[in-house]
Every structure is written in structure tokens, then in C-alpha cells.
Structure 1
């Protein structure tokens, strides 16, 4: 009888990305994440998906989790050794495995928690962060109700000591086990949840290999616990046994996102809107001299304090665009649009063809995504600025009460990430060409800038274009050659797919309307007459509001779920019967300022010796005024255009404060007219008020620029994303005045006080007499 060899492997796994192995429990009311107060004014806290911990409350790597991923690797790369190393549980053929895997204890890396990590719910005792996520409604284009979640993750650069003991009679299984462990270093082997979104990436470092064989094993058995079993084998022998690093066969594509303006992925738990008498957050990330003491929105940061785009955020936008393309082309059974339109969970891999084309690529319950996506990390340095936002009341023309907030964002960052495609599983699809063509078409849209990431897409945030670099392999095996030889190009192939779908006829796209104007009506500023008159007000002729107009749509949730009239889930092309076409595209405009323009950013309070100073909005916070580039924010353009659209289309007042309304009856006492909303409801009707559960229809301006209800209702749409994505207007560098201009603050005009308008004080702007 041959005495089997005994091996003992000890090594360290170091996390290179966030890592989560859940214990199946949800921690209710975690004090690390405070939410808005409830109706009774009591503080609310988020529920958090917890990780597995040891008896000391530190993260724990279960041996069963590691054994499971090792066995999965052997099933794919070395199936002949599975029974020998891991056993089998077949009925009447049960056999114990010869590999015993022990759990790992986490220990903190040399990197210490920074201010940024502490601000983002870092727990130095548990060595964990809290990560937030939210699902986006495909039809409405906004966050789905009750779909915000938090989960606990182990931050990168934490290490786990992991001993593994295996008993085997020959070297080949042992060599294969070493090869499996080395697969951690090229991402062929990952641990935990959401590995398709970049989590669970680790680095394996073999610390010690011990072994006993032959006479040494017999001697150890006779002497019983002499310690000889811990004697390491010769290093040269380990090198000889250990195979070369395993190389992955997955196709990969390096993606560089170059943002054209501001970018921010908001962390909803780090800060929130303040209430009266409420304390400000104790700490804010990326604190600079220009950072205000109170932030409403701030970007999510990595362990190094840099902004990044989480893989889940990229995946959600990328998948949503893929679904939009598939639905527009008429591909059958694309899930995600409306109630009940979803793929069923998959229990057997052979039933993968029952999934819709998007779920086959991007994953579904029971089917892992074929496309793995990593976090997109910031490359180089990027400036961070604070932008102030203020909604304008449609009646008063001033700032709306409670509608001011600010956001901290990164200026024109460059983020880099990687997409990997599992070619082996792709080949198992029945219609792999259709799936691949859908993937490449989405890549084209990403490259052309049709996808936006992060918060504030309606305010000019998140616009970018992509650049691609082929990684370890082409996608797949030289995509360009595949497209040319098989179907000409991906667009042509998608058209063929659409022709074979359930649509009986294809709609021919009508010619876009001409948007030009006559040259004779355009005059340059230099040739304009000196006596040119500019009307200070522009009046829009309007009829009486008519909510029964067909352009007003139902605000009921069920109407949008059953047959969405204007859905973000697809590109709509209108109807050939009514000759009403809808277009998707870009409008590029050039604005010429005729009078001085000030868009305020930061404000420095006045002192006894100096006036208050409002800094104009610009990306260049640290430059002198005469060197800055003027920026007209997309939010300002959007507010201006949306207010004009409201008037031109007789739409509802999208922003109208419910303040006390009174009429001046000088010299008599002012007449009280009651609350603003009550007065407008009696005068113009309930449908003209800002969007709320009291309204039954959505006006044209709501459909174009979006709507949000302040009150929750299960019957109505809670929010609707706008269909207009403006961008910042970039001016000419050096367009600011080198010195501040002093302005006198004016009070509301009153007949007895003409001096407010006719005071002539040196150094102040005053009306000429």
C-alpha cells in the first residue's frame, strides 16, 4: 500500500476591489446611514445587507465560499481532478474529497482609513464600507420606488490569511490546485457577490507550502505530533511544481470615458437636505477653501479619495440602452417595460434561450452576465467645484422657497475601465450573432456620446464619449473582420433581425424638418445699428389652458404600465396615420450676450470694510477673473427654456411656491387672497398647479422637462424624467471683468420711497436723473 503525500498550503488573498459575502441578514436601522425624517419628525435609518463576520466582528472568509469557487474553476479547466480533490455526492457513488479548505481571517492593510473613508461610512472596527445602489425605472427614467439599497463591503487592500490542506498521492492534482489559486491574479477566479460588476477581485500570494511524503509520513505517524509536518518543502521544489500563471481566454476591451463637463455619482447617505435647527454634516469629502459648510450632493469616492464610476452604475445605463435599442427595433419579449414583462428565473443552463436577448447578455436570476464590467477609475488629476442650484418661481420670478441646493462635482474627468466578454458561454447561445450585434450597437452609441452617467443628466452632468482599446483579445476574434465577412456591419445585421421580428412592416424614417433661417435676418454685433432697440420683455400669445388637449397625458401609473405613451424604454417614431413624427437628436446652438451676464457661484459674506462678493460660475475656481472661462450652466438654460415652453404650450406651472398671496391696493390696506395654490386652483383649475397627486394629467412641459411629486401616491406616477438633456454653454476665456462691479441692493418698489431708485452714490450703479 502506497502512503499518500500530504500538502499544506498557506497564503494571503488581498482585495483589489470591494468585496461582499453576505450572511443572509438585513441589519435594520443601521445608524451609519441616516435618511429623511418621517411624518412624526423622527430620524430614519437605512437597512443594510450585512457581511459574514467572525466572533470578533471582523470580516470572515468562509472556507465553503473559497472551496466553491475553486471547484467551479476545476469544472471548467481541470475536470479530471474534481473527484480526487473535492469528491462527489452522486447517489450510490459518494466519495469524500481529499482537499480541506479552511476559512480566512481578515486583517487591515497598511493603508489607513482616510477622512474620505470615514465620511463614507467607513467602520474601522469591522473594516467595512457601506455601498449604495438604486434601480432605475425603464419607462419613467427615474429611480424606482423602494429600490434604494445599501450593502456592507470590505474595502480594497484588506488581506486574508487562508490555509488549505490537501491529501493526494500524485503531483498533478496538487499542481492543478496551485494553478487554481494563481487564477486569482488575472481575475479568472473571484469571490463573493456581484463579481460580474467588478467586485471580488483579489491577489493571491503563496506564503508557505509544507509537505510530507514516503518515510517522512510514516515517521510522523509513528512519532505523533513531532512538528515535522510543518517543515516547508524546498523552495526550488515548489517552483518546479507550481505551473505558470493561468491566462484568461475571455475577450476584453479597455474603455476610456472622457467627460465633456461635470460628473458626479451621488452617495445618497453621505448628506441630505437640512431641516430647521438641524446640525450640518460633521465632515464633507474633498474639503477645499471653496467648499461650503453644507453640501447636498457629493460624489462617491474610492479609497484614494478620487471620484469613480461604480461598475453597477455603468452596467445599469449600458443595459438600459441595450434594451432601448432592442425594443425600438421590435425584438420580441424584451423584459423591463411595464408590469409583468420580465424574464422568469433560470434553473437550468439549457433553458437560456428562453431569456430575452438582453438578459442572455447582461444576466438574469439564475444566469450570470456574459459581460463583466469593472469600476471606472479616474486617470490623472481633475478639478472639483461646487455648483449652486436655485429653482425660479413662475409667479414671482424670484427664487422658490426650499428649492435651493448645491452639488460637488468633478470637472471633465477621464475614467478608465474594462469590459470582458465570456466567449465560451456566448458560443452556447442559439442566436449568438444577434446578441453580439446588439452588444456592438450599444458600444457604438457609447462611443458617440448617447449615454450619460451619474446624477444630474438633465442638468448637463454625465455627458461623455468613449474610446476603445483592444485588451487581451478582440471582441470576439477581431470584431471588425467578423462584421465585414458575416453581415457587412452591425447596423445592417440589426436591421435584418428587426425584419424577422413580430413587426409586419418596417417604418421608413421621414425627412427631418429644416431648422435654418434666412441670412438677411442675422446681423453681427459689429454691423448692428447704434439705435437698435431690444425689447426688455418677450410676450408669448397664449390661449386658455386646456388639460383635455391630446398633448396632455394621463398621470395614472396603470396607464403607463399597460401602454406607455411616451416611454424612456424605447425610441418613439410617432405614427404614420397622424403624420406626427418624433425625433431624437442634437441641436447645437450659439448664444451671443448683448448685456452683462452674471451666473453666481460662491458668495463671500460682506465685512465692515468690504462688500459681499459673488464669484461668477466657472470651471476655473483657482484662476484670476480675467483668465477664467465663462460658463452658462445647463441648469440655467434648462430653467429658461422650460419656463418659455410652459407659457407657449399653456402647460402647468412646474414651480409655484404655496406662499401667502396678497394684492396691493394703495393707499388702502393690502388685500389678502389666501394661499397661492388655492387661488390658482380656483382661477385656472387644479391641473395648472405643480405636479402632485391632485392632478390627473401631465402637461406638455411636464413630458418634455420632467415632473416630481412631493407627495407619495400608489395611484400616480411619482416622478418622470425629462427628455431634454442640455449641456453647459462654454464661453471665451478671459470673458470676466477683472475687477468686481459694485451693485446697490434694491428693496421692493414702493411709491413713497423714490429714493431707492434715484440715489446717486459714487461707486454704485444708479439710475440717471
Structure 2
């Protein structure tokens, strides 16, 4: 009876197999959480059970690739799913995915960064009770050996095309992995590819596939290496095929004052009480403006703008995601605004001694001497902010423009201790790109004394007018 069921069940007639290997490199700190609460931090990274190396699950890679392919092919507001990942998520009995994605282990024992965060009350601008958390992150530069295997039964051209789309997205750094991707974590790229094709109609290639060293990690020294997956699979994409509409803002700033974002870990016992957040880039620690800090500042200012215009703050939830502290019944929704982490280049570290003052006597408070080490501006100090809004509406673009204006003029400080004048930025130039209209606007300010130079400022004013109309409606 069992043999009869096996004989007549629906079998897949695989005619070709394609194996792709690559080296994935993390460009920013990445949170691959294990979900285990037992540890020194609230969220520890997932590690292999045999080796003390970081583990990147194939399911994490598959989810990121699937979302990217959906956006690329059909845009953000559709339920269509391509054939590369099988049936739709809503289907109870869908087709099995023809793409096999292996788990990946880091090439070396990982170096871990500790980050902490806290929820800020938008009214009092102070930390809320019980809302502090900390987590482990993999340092930028960590490498993983990734492996894919495509099983081709039919739809060969479509499957290979969709495989090229997702792997090219990994190659170009357009796909992020792990948690908090909308706040700059998990950015990565693939440097090298190797591809093997096996035509299972041919007996010698069937034997080659059976003898293939599937267990062997990493690239094979005896096989050709490609820098481009399009060239490796001999299929080139047209950039116009990308259906995902997005607004990107790339702005260059300098520091108008000192900046301090508290680090969750001290570099040594002799370090100041509070030091600015640093992250490893290109082998050395560099000060950064974290995406979580910048996103929190932007959200609070957006709420102030919308409340001033007497508009319901649901517009904020549509852009930044849902804030569960206000209404626990709200449906979970990820942020459509991606705020990337920025490296602060050519800055200076100086230690400041401060002391708390007794408000009653007006003298120094006993035992309240402390040191802080913020970053200060030099003649070459520069940081680039990068924001990306998926499927933007005109009034949402107008709101983002107002936020950039407040950052540009120094009216919106970032980081901590803004009450003593820290955290103010000064804009230098900005590039705004709207994919749906294929338009680019540039804003330039040569010096503080000169006026802004804006390309087609009338177009940008229309987006702000759209925000006023939305409020009026």
C-alpha cells in the first residue's frame, strides 16, 4: 500500500540544477537574534551549536529575498508572489519553493558590538520607565559563505531571471538581513560568485552533481570566480524593470556643535563616564550617528508638526510604523521609512568635565562630578544622512522635506544633552530622488552666509502644499 502511494504521488521532474556560492560581507552592524532571553543582554546573537560562530539562517535570507523580489516585480501594494519561492503565504497547500537556501556560518569567531536603546516620551523628551533594552550586533566586516541551489522543472527562463534579480539585489547592497533593517542595521553585499550548472538529462552531469562536494563551505579554488551574478548566469537586467517606487534623500551635513550619543560599552576602565557611540568600519572604530537615534528624533518632530496642524497622528504611523505603547490593539506594521546609519568622518574627540549644581544652595553637588567625551567638529568633519521612503505619497514627501529643513538649519538637534546646545547639524548639500517620476532635485549651500541653491524649488513646494491639503481634508 505504501509503495503504491509513493508510485502515484505527484513527483517533481527536475531537469536541471544550478548551484550558486558567494561570500556575503556585512557593511553595517547586524542583529541576528536568537530569541533567547537568557544572557547578559536582552537579545543575543544566534550562534552555531558546534562552533562559537555566528549563524545566519537560510529562512532569514529567504524572507529578505522574497520581500525584495515582490517589491521589484510588482511594487509594494500587491499580493502577487513569483514562482521562485513557491506558493503564496496565504495558501495552506502551496507549491514547494524550487530555491534551496542553506544556513550560513561566519568565517571567523564573530566580534560583537553592544548597543542599547531607550524609548523617549515625545512630550517630556525623557526616557520612559521600563523601556530600555540592549542587544548584541555582529560587527561590520563579518563574512558568511552562502549557498543556493535552484531546482528547475519548468519555467526555466522565469526562474533564472528571478534568481538573478534577488542575487543582484544582494550583490549591490539593496537587501538587508536580520532585525531593525529599517534603522540601518543588516546592510550587506556579496563580493564574489561561483556558479555550477548540471543538466540532468546528461548522465555525466548527473554524476557530477552526485559527486559535488555539497558539504564543503566557501568558494572552490579550482572554479572560476565572478564579480557579477548577471555575467555568471549570462542574463542582464534592465533597471526600468524595478517596480518599487521610492523616495531617497542623500544629504551631507557637518556638525554645528558637539554631538553625543551615549555608547552602551566603555572602551576601557579609564574611559570617561559617557562616551560617544562608535562602530567598527574598515578595521577601526569610528563615531556614528545611529539610525535608531535619528529615526526617533525625526518621528518626534513629525508628531509636533502634525499636532501643530491639528491632524491625526495616523499619518505618522503610516510612515514610521505603529507605536504600540499608545494602543496595544494596533496591527503590527513595519516602517516604510528606512533610516541608515551614518559615519562621522574627520571629527575630534575631547573630554569635558561637568558637575551637577545643587539647585537649593547654588553650589556644586557633592559627588556629582562626571566626564563626557562627545565628538567635535573639525574643518573636514562630514556625515552623510540617507533616508528612503517606500511607496511615498505627496504629503508624506512634504513632511520629510520639513524634517530635512529642520535638520539643515540646526533647529532639530540629534543625540543626547541637546538642552546644553549639543547635537545641532549644518546642511551642506542634498540630493532628492523620486523614482516614480524619474526626477532629481539638488540643494546646495556653499557657506553659511549664502542663500540656498535649489533645483526647481516650485516642485518641492507642491509637496509641502500637499501636506497642507491633507491636513485640511
Q: Given the alignment of the two structures, is residue 149 of structure 1 paired with residue 133 of structure 2, yes or no?
A: yes
* Matching residue of 1:376: 342
CA contact (8 A) 1:421 1:475 kept: no
CA contact (8 A) 2:112 2:136 kept: yes
Task: Could you list the structure 1 runs, at least 4 aligned residues long, displaced by more than 6 angstroms after superposition.
Answer: 228-231, 233-238, 479-483
CA contact (8 A) 1:5 1:213 kept: yes
Equivalenced residues, count = 416
| In 2: Cα distance, 1:474 partner to 1:444 partner | 21
When normalised by structure 1's length, the TM-score is 0.49
Structure 1 pair 449/92, CA: closer, same or farther in 2 (3 Å)? closer
Structure 1 pair 358/483, CA: closer, same or farther in 2 (3 Å)? farther
Deviations 1:48-89 (A, max 9, x none): 212221112321111111112222233233479833553457
* Matching residue of 2:383: 415
* Matching residue of 2:103: 103
**1 or 2 for the larger relative contact order (CA 8 Å, sep ≥6)?**
2
* Matching residue of 1:663: none
Q: Given the alignment of the two structures, is residue 174 of structure 1 paired with residue 151 of structure 2, yes or no?
A: no
Structure 1 pair 174/408, CA: closer, same or farther in 2 (3 Å)? same
Matches within 5 A, 1:500-649: 500=473
| In 2: Cα distance, 1:391 partner to 1:237 partner | 59
* Matching residue of 2:173: 187
* Matching residue of 2:33: 22
* Matching residue of 1:116: none
Q: Which has the higher strand share?
A: 2
Matches within 5 A, 1:14-413: 14-28=25-39, 30=40, 47-55=41-49, 56-78=51-73, 82-83=82-83, 85-87=85-87, 94-108=94-108, 125-169=109-153, 170-213=156-199, 215-216=201-202, 218-221=203-206, 225-227=210-212, 239=231, 241-244=233-236, 250-270=246-266, 283=268, 293=270, 295-303=272-280, 304-332=284-312, 334=313, 356-364=314-322, 366-379=332-345, 381-394=346-359, 396-412=361-377, 413=381
SS at 1:357 equivalent: helix
Report how far residue 318 of structure 1 moved: 0.8
What do you get for the CA RMSD once the two structures are aligned? 3.4
When normalised by structure 2's length, the TM-score is 0.78
Matches within 5 A, 1:651-666: none
| In 1: Cα distance, 2:42 partner to 2:247 partner | 35
| In 1: Cα distance, 2:338 partner to 2:27 partner | 16
| In 1: Cα distance, 2:286 partner to 2:471 partner | 43
Report how far residue 316 of structure 1 moved: 0.4
Gaps of 5+ in 1: 31-46, 109-124, 271-281, 285-292, 335-355, 427-431, 501-769
| In 2: Cα distance, 1:266 partner to 1:194 partner | 19
| In 1: Cα distance, 2:122 partner to 2:354 partner | 27
Report how far residue 436 of structure 1 moved: 2.6
CA contact (8 A) 1:85 1:173 kept: no
Structure 1 pair 210/490, CA: closer, same or farther in 2 (3 Å)? closer
CA contact (8 A) 2:254 2:426 kept: yes
Report how far residue 13 of structure 1 moved: 0.8
| In 2: Cα distance, 1:16 partner to 1:246 partner | 26
SS at 1:200 equivalent: coil
Deviations 1:663-715 (A, max 9, x none): xxxxxxxxxxxxxxxxxxxxxxxxxxxxxxxxxxxxxxxxxxxxxxxxxxxxx
CA contact (8 A) 1:137 1:144 kept: yes
